[in-house]
A and B are shown apart, each in its own frame.
Chain A
């Protein structure tokens, strides 16, 4: 059996060739892309105000995408104002012109520059990374609007949406990987580790004092480790296996909703808002073109990591 075949057996990714012939799938995929650019408008105005607060903020140290500001001797105020107005302009242009290559290209530039400003205060803006990566991928979408459908174009269209889903969920999986790496290291060193009863309490008591305001439920979870523990340990697995759902689309909706709940948790317990990440999960996964029209509970259980491989192994032996 070829390496490709073995990989396909283990991963079992959806057949884009088959899906590209399904009009329902192609209609949903076009809707997803349009919705992606519409949702940016909602996020853009919030970011516009956020950047306004940074005009006179201390600690401004422009990173390399803002190199042009040195060339034109633009100071902090000028740079941030230029970038935020440019960002809103590109987002609004994206509403009307996202079906054009150049429309998606300028949206990417707008997000890139905006993200560079947000990340120029000694602290990267994690929440906008998924939008940066996906807006770059979507630049290369083929033109299948206005009746210009062809089998090749359809497949390429789905391929790029799939790739966008992959990079979004990869972030969660990487976060999960490092958590498990640290878990094993700390367990081996005899320290408090990720599966310890007070693990989440230690995270909160280290992080919360650095915030300007105490999150609403921080005290509750510090004082009740018996409630915090299963949720905290569950989040480890939720993150680790996130990227698996791009290979098992029946799990995408439930996983995305779980990640959204996870983000709500981080707001009210840790004071960390990841609204852009919540929105991209909504856009790309709650109406994913790859999710089966009807998913049974049995299908979803069979698609779970480890369960899926076990069943494949049984099938191979049988």
Chain B
């Protein structure tokens, strides 16, 4: 291929690559269907007070948590499986949405993926929908409101 043609090919491919990447605003979740393209929408929006789902551990193994422990503070459990809570954030959101929309199929699939991290220990946890201001919660550790949408056991 001569240089002139190769230059055109390279430029066209870069343009196509850029357009594909620009068309993937939601590609930061579950990369499987978009791999190897990525939209790079990392930390784009400022988190505002909103509803989101949180997982709270009621018990794990021999330990009982009162009050229930937010999964983001249960890093030792995730470390034992060579993971960390951040990896499960999107899964928890999907789980919560599946529960509230009564999508049993999705609920079953996502529940298995989340509970893999807790096995083989017995466990009990609840999914809550919470509304909070992140900055206010950082200082006061208080949600504006919260509702339990599901309680689950296993192990």
Contact = CB atoms under 8 A, between A and B. Distances in A.
Given A201-B135, A202-B48, A175 B41 contact: yes
B44 A179 contact: yes
Interface string A131-152: 0110000000000000000001
Contacts of A205: 47, 134-135, 137-138
Contacts of A213: 75
Contact of B46 (A126, A178, A199): A199
B72 interface: yes
A199 B45 CA distance: 9
A76 to B, nearest CB: 11
A152 B44 contact: no
A120 B102 CA distance: 27
Interface in B21-35: 21-22, 25, 28, 30-32, 35
A122 B6 contact: no
B98 interface: no
A207 B36 CA distance: 25
Interface string A205-232: 1110111110000000010000000000
Interface stretch (B60-68, B80-88, B144-152): B80-88
B38 interface: yes
Contacts of A192: 46, 48
B75 A212 contact: yes
Interface in B45-79: 45-48, 70, 72-73, 75, 78-79
A129 to B, nearest CB: 6
Given A156-B6, A212-B75, A222-B138, A186 B85 contact: no
Interface string A153-192: 0011001100100110011101101110110011000011
A57 B83 contact: yes
A69 interface: no
Contacts of B113: 59, 61, 122
Interface in B107-150: 113, 116-117, 119, 134-135, 137-138
Contacts of B38: 124, 126, 129, 171
Contacts of A56: 81-82
Interface residues of B, number: 53
Contacts of A132: 36
A162 to B, nearest CB: 8
Q: Of B7, B44, B84, B137, which is in contact with the most chain A CB atoms at under 10 Å from its CB?
A: B44
Contacts of B88: 59, 122
A171 B40 contact: yes
A174 B39 contact: yes
Given A167-B14, A178-B40, A178-B41, A58 B46 contact: no
A163 B113 CA distance: 39
A191 B48 contact: yes
Contacts of B47: 202-203, 205-206
A203 B138 CA distance: 11
Nearest to B137: A205
Nearest to B74: A212
Given A116-B35, A182-B46, A206-B47, 18 more contacts: A54-B82, A55-B82, A58-B116, A58-B117, A59-B81, A59-B113, A63-B31, A119-B31, A152-B2, A159-B7, A163-B10, A171-B38, A179-B43, A199-B46, A202-B47, A203-B47, A205-B47, A211-B84
Interface of B: 2-3, 6-7, 10, 14, 17-18, 21-22, 25, 28, 30-32, 35-36, 38-48, 70, 72-73, 75, 78-79, 81-91, 113, 116-117, 119, 134-135, 137-138
Interface of A: 53-59, 61, 63-65, 112, 115-116, 119, 121-124, 126, 129, 132-133, 152, 155-156, 159-160, 163, 166-167, 170-172, 174-175, 177-179, 181-182, 185-186, 191-194, 196, 198-199, 201-203, 205-207, 209-213, 222
18 contacts: A55-B82, A56-B82, A58-B119, A59-B117, A64-B32, A115-B36, A126-B38, A163-B14, A174-B18, A177-B22, A178-B44, A202-B47, A202-B134, A202-B135, A205-B138, A209-B138, A210-B72, A222-B135
